[in-house]
Amino acid sequence: MILTFLGTAAANAYPEAFCRCENCERARVLGGPSLRKRSAALIDDDLLLDLGPDIMTAAFMHGCPLSSVHYCLQTHAHADHLDPSHFLSRSPGYGVIGAPRLHFYASPATVHRAARTFERDLSSDSLLDPEVGERLNLEIHRIEAFQSFSIGPYRVTTFPANHDPSVEPLLYAIEADGRSIFYGTDTATLPEEIWQAFHRRRMRFDIVVLDHTYGPEEPGSDHLSAHQVAGHVERMREEGLLTERARVFATHIAHEGNPAHPELVDFAARHGYEVAYDGLAVQA
Ligand SMILES: [Zn+2]
Ligand SMILES: [Zn+2]
Ligand SMILES: [Zn+2]
């Protein structure tokens, strides 16, 4: 599997367009990997992680069109991860002819939130109406935490994120060709039941992606901080959850406490992980 990061910022992007803080100003000067769009990722060319607000821009900036995407695993319904206008814009009614049917996987609460937002802001139609799905070239699948299922060539396992429970957020393990990726944003510290489930299901990851909203000088709260990511990586290594060749990447990086890319890379290197950037493609 090839994992491409389409966006690696927290909810407000980095630099925050309205912000003049030291981190945002430095990111503007440096450009390149210091410029982060809202988080989303692509596996191979057909599996999207989050129908995020910046995926259109990411697709043309990083040369990875989404025209072969058959599946979307949605982490949750927060607006920095889900822009329901894409359901319309990728439909035949908007001139997208011949695209594969989109199989959209999300928790019941996230599906409910998506449908409500869609109906309120975009259309009088209900996303949950199968006829509307037909028109939008879309099939919605409700999934729960601790489920395993197959989609195309991928085996997917879901885990409950430690994040806003009102949207029933999910984290995903994706396996194919004997390789395994864990996509872990948005979440605060992983609860024990997830660690136990990793072991029970004999998971070993080749790539781990973790929420890194808060920087080296900040405590974590509703998201992970730099030191908590370092702690999670250490525990994963100690408990044999990483393969020998495993790589761990930080994503969902906020401007308030995280320095621009080069300095964050230095911190991460001293703590056993790497920092993702928009457009980075890695092979699992
Ligand atoms: Zn987020
Ligand atoms: Zn800023
Ligand atoms: Zn969130």
Q: How far is the CA of 226 from the centre of ligand 1 (A)?
A: 16
Residues recorded for the chain: 284
CB atoms within 10 A of CB 283: 11
Q: What is the band of 220 on the pLDDT scale with cuts at 50, 70, 90?
A: confident
CB atoms within 10 A of CB 124: 5
Q: How far is the CA of 15 from the centre of ligand 2 (A)?
A: 6
- pTM listed for this prediction: 0.97
Q: How far apart are CA 268 and CA 33, in angstroms?
A: 15
Q: What pLDDT is recorded for position 207?
A: 98
Is the CB of residue 33 less than 8 Å from the CB of residue 274? no
Q: How far is the CA of 92 from the centre of ligand 3 (A)?
A: 30
Domains and CATH numbers, the chain: 2-283 (3.60.15.10)
Q: What is the band of 161 on the pLDDT scale with cuts at 50, 70, 90?
A: very high
Share of residues in the chain with pLDDT > 70 (%): 100
2 token code pair? 């090839």
What does the mean pLDDT of the chain come to? 97
What is the per-residue pLDDT across 225-246, written as a single tens digit (0 to 9) for each?
A: 999 999 999 999 999 999 999 9
Q: How far is the CA of 163 from the centre of ligand 3 (A)?
A: 7
